[in-house]
Structure 1
Amino acid sequence: MALLRVILNVIWLVLAGLPLAIGYFLAGILCCILIVTIPWGIASFRIANYVLWPFGRTVIDRPTAGVASTIGNVIWILVAGIWLVIGHILSAAALAVTIIGIPLAIAEIKIIPVTLTPLGKRIVPSDQAFATLGSMRI
């Protein structure tokens, strides 16, 4: 299973990961230049790291995220999130045309929630996600 993840990540890196990561990295730099948008810049860097190697990792909500994250996510959705999601959907449709591209299209769709609402999220290894959820108090 680990070998399959590595193979998919390498194919992903070449076909979709590197261009996506560069885009998110440039957006992060732009957001960090403008002082007010630093939280979105940090989130863009986190997403850039995630889109480079997505197989074997997942996104979970941070339980300590509060109202500020929610407000920031609403602003993000209106300014950039919706356009990024449209780009991911179009890219997923293009990847899904081939049999090899179907798992990559699924990964592209998997990235949409963190792209739409990046604040208040953590990216963890897939096997750690359930352990983290089990240790949270409800």
Structure 2
Amino acid sequence: MGCLGNLLWFVFGGFTSGLSWCAAGVLWCITIVGIPIGKQCFKLAGLSFFPFGKEIVYGGGAASLVMNIFWIILSGIPLALEHLATGVILCVTIVGIPFGRQHFKLAKLALMPFGAAVI
């Protein structure tokens, strides 16, 4: 079921969602200081392309807290708003509720990506 969900997800919105994470990663990698943040964006783009069957575990320390603060200010809010808006639109229909829940999971991740591990 996860494979079918990922396929439908990719075709009906996952591709654009993953591209937004890739765009954020490219913008962060332009600067040398932002390369670690850009690398994290590319990892999360893979999750955004195919989120079904994967779970996110949050943790981390002081370094991830500092990185999350920079991230929220510069890139996290637009990505989170994109996922929230898409999730609300998808939850209007019964068929779209599983896809909307995935967008809500990604919206939380868009606000705090550092210290998060994908299982």
Taking structure 1 as the reference length, what is the TM-score of the superposition? 0.80
Matched, 1:118 2:113: yes
1:8-87 correspondence to structure 2 within 5 Å:
8-62=5-59, 65-87=60-82
SS at match of 1:122: strand
CA drift of 1:61 comes to 2.6
Tell me which of 83, 91, 102 is aligned to 1:96: 91
Match of 1:134 in 2: none
Partner AA of 1:47 in structure 2: L
Deviation of the 1:117 alpha carbon: 0.8
Percentage of identical aligned residues: 34
Deviation (angstroms), 1:66:
2.4
Runs of 4 or more off by more than 6 Å in structure 1? Answer: none
Q: Larger Rg: 1 or 2?
A: 1
TM-score, normalised by the number of residues in structure 2: 0.92
